[in-house]
Each structure stands twice: as structure tokens, then as C-alpha cells.
């Protein structure tokens, strides 16, 4: 680890983004505006540019490590120059931009917002923010008074900062935005001179702050009301905290003794006595706050622990809304005091409440036996990560999932590549599930690159995150039919993640099997498909069942059996409780895939009305899902069904909705089907005589995309229609070319069904 540390600290992506944005902002502003005392000399400017570069190198900011070329990086940063022309207005814009970037931490998203700012299209910015950054409002509401005061003081101070000052400032700002628990004094550190300049202005920007004592009193009174309203749950509290209380009694303390009496009163449901003991505990706790054994974090009851214990009490009784309310108070107090241990424990219980409300008893009994006080950070991160996986599988809002991941990363690792690789892999997986494949690929590449750098220095950091990241990159290569990249990735996985040694890391192997299956299925090599499905069943029964239903219809001509299998899978998805072990079997996207395959089979058997009903239900599944690509997929299927029902205008309307989205994504099969349908609708509109080239162009585009995904049957359909169009238009040369390619395919794949289309 030391050898690697010498190469420069691997910054957390949040800190990296904030540091670069703030650094570039001040650099651009200094270059574009004159100082009050006159313009800078050329030597001073050169020195400042040199200092900027040294600052980036000193902090280990290597652009290539973040999967961006130098051109992409500096093009993005150059667009920040417009922010420097009006400091009064644009510093607020920069702060907002940083806050948005913290929530969605990557330049691809930041770049879109910057481009909007450069165009000064404020309506467009508002729409984009409303659609994608609604979680910013929630974070602003959670911001405490000291944070708001800090931001306002920054606005007054940044004009006076020289290079060294704003270097320290950017570091403080990144810590504030990524942590959010430091006090104002801790933030400024050596900025005493600046603080003196702004003390006279504090009255102008005063924010009402409730004293800690008043907050504690309010929380305690509120807790007692909840205790009295839930007498049944109180009996479980003593058993929950026996181990933690015994650990706390390793040092004698009057406060802990009172707390034990409080637990006994709770067990006896003596709430009057309990209220007296809580008030007494508050007094003793405030008097002993400077005790050495408390400061050392011996496990004694800290501020906010009562809220945490109330959460546990409500959780064991099944009162999940009350448990969440208690957690909110606990999180607030933990952030106010900067108590990371308490915050981690609260995040752990928040994960328990949100991930598995139907199985809370099993989770509680099984996991709470672990010593939270000793290993709370790891438990908190693990369960917050599980929460993010659960939310993404069931189609929760993207802001909720990203907030879960922020909880998982509440304590950034110190040069621990294994944790960093896993965090990048988690984010890659989430972005992939929401259809943002470009961002998922970037995080996956970052994870693999960190792994490769660690290998150079002899560090053993093989983790499951490497397998997950490799899977994302393999799927990307499969979609684009990039065989050279795919082969390199498969060789990498075979060397680094051999299945024989790491039996639980089959995720990348599944991606390879799916790719080989899709190629064989497109060429109607059904014998190989059956063999691949058998291999899939050893890794994922769900994926194997989906492919089995395809083969039942296309190979064995048993549509009834295929529909029965799909319906049973759909029923299992609807009836399963939200449990950690069956999350992949209950995901929204899995339900959608089943529905689309079911609709395809019904459409091929001319059951258009039944297919329409299935697709309308599928559209309801993705109506609130942030993944626009899946919505477009459903609309494309609907367009084909409307065409089968001879509702041409309805088909056109559905295609108009999905066509721009599908043609802009990296899913060649969907692109091909969209172009093919556009050609069919052009023929239905009797515009061939007027625009034969336009109709022919649709089939040419479809043919090109079908060739990428090696769908021989649909390539033949495109060529057949192209030949007919050329014959009607009198283009004999192109007709012969299409016919020759068609005959060559027939000769090469004699077993492929040459009749029909979608």
C-alpha cells in the first residue's frame, strides 16, 4: 500500500470533481478580470498557471485515471469560463452546479448542465433540474444552519483570496460537501483573517439556530410521547440492548446506571418512572460530556442514541413509519455533532427498515448480533449498498438510489483500493440498471483501471467489484458487437477471475453466455442455444427460464408452453415478498422483460388484442421509471401491435415517441426494429411512388443494424423488401445487389426460416 500511496492519493470522485471545478473557476476568473490595483503582469500570470498545474499534480488528479481524454476534460472545463463574467450571479450558479455534481457525480452530466448555462436557456435548465435533480431540494432542506452560513460567507470572501487561500478553500469546500458534518470553524481552519473581515456582516446574514440543549429537550419529550403510544413494543427494548449495555458498563458511570434503570422501567412499562429517568439521564450526560471514557468512544449512550433505540423498538414491533421518524432525529443529531459512529449505526437501521420491511424479524435477529459499535461502519455500508440494489431493482427513483450509495460511502476509504473498486462497481451497476450505459461504462473502466494500477504495485485487491465492472464492460462490447474488445475482456476475466477458483463470481461468465446465445439465436442455431441455456441454469435460473421460453416457441413451436412458463415467472414476481435473496427475481426490469417476450409471442401468433393488454400493463410498470430506453422499447412493441391491428395512425404515434430515443442508444436490435417499422409504415402510407429513396433508406439502416446483432432472419426480410422496392422503382442494379446478398445468406444459412418478418 505504501508503494501505491507514494504515487499520489486516489481522490474520491466527489472531492475530485469539486476540487477541479473550484480550481478552474478561480483560475478563469483571475485571467478574465483585472485586479483592483491594476492588471497582473505576465510573470504573475505564468506563476499562477504553474501553481495551478502543481496543485493538480500535488493532489493526484490524473485526468486519464477518470476515463476521460485530455480533450474531453479541458473542453468541459473551458465551458466554465462564462461563469467568470458576472461573479454576483454566477458564483451562485457554480455552487448550484457543484451541488448537482455531488448528487450525480460525473462530468457527462455536469457537461450537459454547463452547456445549458452557456446558452443561457434558463427554461431548459429548470426542466432538466426538475426531471433529474429533484433530490437537490431535499439535501438543501436537510442542510443545517452552520452550512448555510458557511456558503454565504464564502460568497463574501472569494474576491479576496489569492492562489494559496483558494487552494485551502477548495479543500475545505470539498470536505464540507462530501462530509457535511464539520463545523464552521473546522471548515475555515487558517482563515482567521477572513473571518475577522466578515464578523461585522454576520448580523446581516443571521440564520435562526436552535440551541443544542433546546433540541435535545424537544427530542426527549417527543421520544417519551412515542414510548407511551407504543406499550407493546417497549417490552422488546431490553433484549435488544442487553449486549450493548453490558459493553457500556466496562467503565462506571452514573449516566449509564440511570440508563439501565430506564431500560428496566421500559420492560415493566412504567412510563412515568421512565420519563423521570430520561430527564435525569440528560442532566448527567451533559455534566459528564467531558469524561475521558466517553470521549474515547467506549460505547456509552451518546447524544442521539435514544432516537436510535426508539427506532429499534419500533422496528421490532413492525411500526416502520415510526422507526423512520426516530431515525431522522438520530441522523440529524449525529450530523450536528459529527458523530460518525452513530451516523453509521443509523444508516444500518435505515437500510434494515427500507430494504426488507416484510422480513424485519429475520434481519433483526440475524444481523443485530454483530457488534455494531465495533464494526458499525462496514455493516452500515453493506446494508446501504443492499438498499441501493433493492431500490434499483424495484424501479425506485434514481435520486433515492444515489442517496443510498452516498450512505454506503459516508466514510471514504483511505487509499483502500478494494473499497474504492467496489464503490465504483456499485455505481456502475446502478447506472446500468437505469439505462445510463455511458456513465456505467465510465465507472466500470475506472474500477478496472484502479485494479490494474494496484496489480502493478503488487497489491492483491481482487474483489467481486472487479467481476461486476467486467460484466458491465462485456455487456457494452456485446451490444456494439465489438469482438476485439470483447475478446480482450474475456481473456482478462479468465486470467484474473477464474471460475474454478472464484465460483461465486459468475457474473462476467453470464455476460459471455448471453452474448454467445444471442448470436446463435439470431442464426437459428437452436442446438447450441439449448446447450448454452443449460450452462446458464447453473448461474441464474431466471435468465435460463427466459431463454427456455424463447426456444419453446421458436424451436419447438410450442407457444402455449412458452406463455405458461412466462406467466408462471410473472406470477412469482408479483407474489414474492421483498427479500434480499430474491431481489433479482422480483425486479421491475425483469417483469418488463417477461412482458415484452410474452407480447412478442402473442404478436407472432396473431393474438394482437392479448398482446396489446400485456403491453399496456408493461407501460404502467415503466411509467415512473427514469430509464427512457425501456419506455421506448415498450412503445416500439406497441407500434408493431397497432400495425398488426391495422391502426396505422396509432402505430405512427407510438413510433414517433420511441424512434428518437432508440436511434440514439447503443442497442442495435431495437434500432433495427425501429428503422424496419418505419419502412413498413412508409409502405402503408402509399408514399413509395413519391419518396422511394426514403423508404429504401429505412430498410438499409435496418439491414445495417441487424447485421451488427447477426439476426439473419431479419436481414433476409430487409433484403427481400429492398429488392421489391427497387423493382417497383425500376432500379435494376440495386435490385440485383439485394437479391445476390439474399441468395448468399440463403446458401450460408440454409436452415434459417426465410418467410415472414415481425
Name the residue with higher pLDDT: 337 or 286.
337
Q: Quote the pLDDT of residue 106.
A: 36
Query: Could you tell me the pLDDT band of residue 7, with boundaries at 50, 70 and 90?
Result: very low
User: Burial of 499 by CB count in 10 Å (0-12 exposed, 13-18 middle, 19+ buried)?
Assistant: middle
Q: What is the pLDDT of residues 126-172, one digit of tens each?
A: 444 344 333 333 333 333 333 333 333 333 333 343 444 444 444 44
Name the residue with higher pLDDT: 477 or 285.
477
Q: Give percent above pLDDT 90 in the chain.
A: 2
Say which range, 135-144, 282-291, 298-307, has the weakest mean pLDDT.
135-144
Residue range 501-529: mean pLDDT, rounded? 75
If phi > 0 it is left, if psi is from -120 to 50 it is alpha, else beta; for residue 154 that is: alpha
Name the residue with higher pLDDT: 543 or 229.
543
Residue range 201-223: mean pLDDT, rounded? 33
Query: pTM to 2 decimals?
Result: 0.50
Say which range, 323-327, 345-349, 686-690, has the weakest mean pLDDT.
686-690
Could you please report the per-residue DSSP string of 156-173? Answer: HHGGG--HHHHHHHHHHH
Q: Quote the pLDDT of residue 524.
A: 81
Mean pLDDT of the chain: 60
Q: Quote the pLDDT of residue 638.
A: 92
Cβ-based neighbours of 156, under 8 Å, separated by 6 or more? 198, 201
Q: Quote the pLDDT of residue 261.
A: 65
Q: Which three cell numbers stand for residue 620?
A: 404502467
Q: Quote the pLDDT of residue 467.
A: 80
Say which range, 215-229, 519-533, 653-667, 709-723, has the weakest mean pLDDT.
215-229
Q: Quote the pLDDT of residue 314.
A: 56
- Write down the residue that cell numbers 427475481 correspond to: 585
Could you please report the per-residue DSSP string of 680-748? Answer: HHHHHTT-TTT-HHHHHHHHHHHHHHHHHTT-HHHHHHHHHHHHHHHHHHT-HHHHHHHHHHHHHHHHH
Amino acid at each position: 500500500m505504501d508503494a501505491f500511496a507514494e504515487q499520489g492519493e486516489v481522490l474520491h470522485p466527489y472531492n475530485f470533481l469539486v476540487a477541479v471545478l473550484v480550481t478552474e473557476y478561480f483560475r478563469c476568473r483571475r485571467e478574465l478580470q483585472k485586479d483592483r490595483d491594476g492588471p497582473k503582469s505576465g510573470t504573475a500570470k505564468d506563476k499562477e498557471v504553474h501553481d495551478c498545474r502543481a496543485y493538480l499534480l500535488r493532489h493526484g488528479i490524473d485526468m486519464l485515471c477518470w476515463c476521460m481524454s485530455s480533450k474531453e476534460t479541458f473542453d468541459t472545463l473551458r465551458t466554465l469560463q462564462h461563469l467568470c463574467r458576472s461573479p454576483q450571479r454566477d458564483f451562485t450558479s457554480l455552487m448550484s452546479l457543484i451541488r448537482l455534481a455531488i448528487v450525480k457525480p460525473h462530468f457527462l452530466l455536469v457537461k450537459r448542465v454547463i452547456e445549458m448555462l452557456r446558452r443561457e436557456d434558463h427554461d431548459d435548465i429548470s426542466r432538466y433540474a426538475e426531471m433529474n435533480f429533484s433530490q437537490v431540494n431535499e439535501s438543501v432542506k436537510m442542510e443545517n444552519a452552520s452550512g448555510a452560513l458557511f456558503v454565504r460567507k464564502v460568497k463574501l470572501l472569494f474576491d479576496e483570496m489569492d492562489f494559496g487561500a483558494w487552494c485551502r478553500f477548495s479543500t475545505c469546500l470539498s470536505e464540507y460537501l462530501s462530509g457535511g458534518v464539520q463545523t464552521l470553524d473546522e471548515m475555515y481552519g487558517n482563515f482567521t483573517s477572513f473571518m475577522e473581515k466578515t464578523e461585522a456582516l454576520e448580523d446581516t446574514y443571521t440564520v435562526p439556530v436552535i440551541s443544542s440543549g433546546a433540541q435535545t429537550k424537544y427530542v426527549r419529550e417527543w421520544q417519551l410521547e412515542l414510548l407511551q403510544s407504543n406499550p407493546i413494543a417497549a417490552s422488546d427494548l431490553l433484549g435488544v440492548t442487553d449486549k450493548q449495555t453490558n459493553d457500556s458498563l466496562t467503565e462506571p458511570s452514573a449516566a449509564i446506571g440511570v440508563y439501565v434503570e430506564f431500560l428496566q422501567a421500559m420492560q415493566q412499562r412504567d412510563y412515568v418512572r421512565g420519563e423521570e429517568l430520561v430527564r435525569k439521564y440528560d442532566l448527567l450526560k451533559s455534566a459528564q460530556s467531558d469524561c475521558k471514557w466517553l470521549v474515547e468512544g467506549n460505547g456509552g449512550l451518546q447524544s442521539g442514541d435514544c432516537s436510535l433505540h426508539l427506532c429499534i423498538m419500533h422496528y421490532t414491533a413492525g411500526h416502520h413509519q415510526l422507526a423512520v421518524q426516530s431515525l431522522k432525529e438520530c441522523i440529524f443529531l449525529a450530523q450536528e455533532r459529527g458523530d460518525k459512529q452513530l451516523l453509521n449505526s443509523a444508516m444500518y437501521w435505515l437500510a434494515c427498515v427500507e430494504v426488507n420491511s416484510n422480513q424485519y424479524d429475520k434481519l433483526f435477529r440475524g444481523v443485530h448480533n454483530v457488534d455494531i459499535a465495533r464494526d458499525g461502519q462496514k455493516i452500515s455500508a453493506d446494508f446501504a449498498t443492499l438498499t441501493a440494489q433493492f431500490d434499483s431493482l424495484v424501479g425506485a427513483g434514481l435520486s433515492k438510489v444515489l442517496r443510498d450509495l452516498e450512505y454506503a460511502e459516508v466514510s471514504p476509504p483511505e487509499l483502500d483500493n478494494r473499497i474504492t473498486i467496489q464503490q465504483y462497481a456499485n455505481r456502475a451497476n446502478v447506472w446500468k440498471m437505469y439505462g445510463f450505459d455511458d456513465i456505467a461504462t465510465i465507472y466500470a473502466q475506472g474500477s478496472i483501471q484502479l485494479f490494474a494500477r494496484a496489480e502493478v504495485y503488487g497489491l492483491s485487491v481482487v474483489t467481486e467489484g472487479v467481476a461486476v465492472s467486467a460484466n458491465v464492460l462485456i455487456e457494452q462490447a456485446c451490444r456494439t458487437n465489438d469482438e476485439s474488445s470483447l475478446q480482450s475482456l474475456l481473456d482478462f476475466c479468465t486470467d484474473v477471475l477464474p471460475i474454478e477458483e472464484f465460483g461465486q463470481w459468475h457474473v462476467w461468465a453470464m455476460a459471455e453466455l448471453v452474448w454467445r446465445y444471442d448470436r446463435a439465436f439470431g442464426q437459428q442455431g437452436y442446438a447450441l442455444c439449448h446447450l448454452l441455456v443449460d450452462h446458464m441454469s447453473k448461474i441464474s435460473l431466471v435468465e435460463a427460464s427466459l431463454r427456455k421460453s424463447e426456444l419453446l416457441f421458436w424451436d419447438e413451436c410450442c407457444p402455449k408452453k412458452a406463455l405458461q412458463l412466462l406467466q408462471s415467472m410473472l406470477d412469482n414476481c408479483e407474489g414474492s415478498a421483498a427479500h434480499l435473496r430474491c431481489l433479482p427475481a422480483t425486479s421491475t426490469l425483469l417483469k418488463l422483460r417477461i412482458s415484452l417476450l410474452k407480447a412478442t409471442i402473442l404478436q407472432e401468433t396473431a393474438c394482437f388484442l392479448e398482446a396489446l393488454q400485456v403491453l399496456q400493463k408493461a407501460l404502467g410498470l415503466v411509467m415512473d421509471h427514469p430509464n427512457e430506453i425501456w419506455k421506448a422499447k415498450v412503445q416500439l412493441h406497441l407500434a408493431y401491435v397497432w400495425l398488426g391491428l391495422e391502426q396505422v395512425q396509432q402505430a405512427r404515434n407510438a413510433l414517433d415517441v420511441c424512434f428518437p430515443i432508440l436511434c440514439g442508444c447503443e442497442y442495435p436490435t431495437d434500432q433495427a426494429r425501429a428503422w424496419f417499422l418505419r419502412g413498413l409504415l412508409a409502405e402503408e402510407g402509399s408514399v413509395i411512388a413519391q419518396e422511394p429513396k426514403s423508404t429504401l433508406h429505412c430498410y438499409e439502416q435496418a439491414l445495417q443494424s441487424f447485421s451488427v446483432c447477426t439476426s439473419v432472419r431479419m436481414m433476409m426480410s430487409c433484403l427481400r423488401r429492398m429488392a421489391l422496392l427497387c423493382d417497383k422503382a425500376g432500379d435494376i442494379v440495386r435490385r440485383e445487389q439485394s437479391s445476390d446478398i439474399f441468395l448468399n445468406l440463403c446458401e450460408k444459412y440454409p436452415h434459417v426460416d426465410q418467410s415472414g418478418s415481425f
